[in-house]
């Protein structure tokens, strides 16, 4: 869900992705204030845990048969897929013949990553498409101002995704 949510937010607000790309640039970190570094560190770790925790929950509920190493590997694969896909898409430097930025391709890649592991029910593109549509509806029709810096920072302070991992 965090990956699909990010793709949908980036479609509506390119600033979100630019901020994400800048925040992981080591040259930026060297110039940032300690307060900004802490905010960015918390956001990166929060996002990581928001990918990992649902995988742990899936193991605990019997939906996924995975070891600790499997969870760590899948979390990393999903996180790096998101980083690579969104950075490449936003930079617009790669020739389109090498990179296809469409929902179908992204969902196919994500389902392939997910299905390398032992799920009770396979993760399908259709399942993710349904989730993407719900996210899209939430972003378009939600009552809150989801695409503001204030909202993003506020959510980050409230949401922990059990960030003790």
96-146 pLDDT, tens digit each: 676 665 678 888 888 999 999 999 999 998 998 998 888 888 888 766 665
pTM: 0.75
14-36 pLDDT, tens digit each: 677 676 666 667 777 777 788 87
Whether the per-residue pLDDT at 74 is higher than 60: the answer is: yes
| 9 C-beta neighbours (distance < 10 Å), count | 19
41-64 pLDDT, tens digit each: 777 788 888 889 999 999 999 999
Residues 37, 34, 160: CA angle, nearest 5 degrees: 45
Secondary structure of residue 65 in the 3-state scheme: strand
Between helices 2-12 and 14-23, what is the axis angle to 10°? 120
């Amino acid at each position: 869900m965090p990956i699909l949510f990010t793709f949908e937010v980036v479609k509506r607000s390119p600033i979100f992705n630019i901020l994400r790309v800048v925040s992981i640039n080591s040259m930026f970190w060297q110039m940032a204030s300690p307060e900004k570094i802490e905010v960015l560190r918390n956001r990166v770790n929060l996002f990581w845990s928001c990918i990992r925790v649902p995988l742990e929950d899936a193991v605990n509920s019997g939906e996924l048969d995975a070891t600790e190493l499997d969870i760590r590997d899948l979390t990393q694969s999903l996180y790096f897929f998101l980083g690579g896909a969104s950075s490449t898409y936003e930079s617009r430097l790669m020739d389109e013949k090498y990179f296809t930025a469409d929902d179908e391709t992204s969902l196919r890649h994500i389902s392939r990553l997910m299905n390398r592991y032992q799920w009770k029910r396979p993760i399908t593109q259709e399942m993710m498409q349904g989730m993407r549509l719900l996210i899209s509806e939430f972003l378009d029709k939600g009552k809150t101002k989801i695409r503001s810096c204030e909202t993003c920072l506020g959510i980050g302070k409230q949401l922990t995704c059990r960030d003790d991992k």
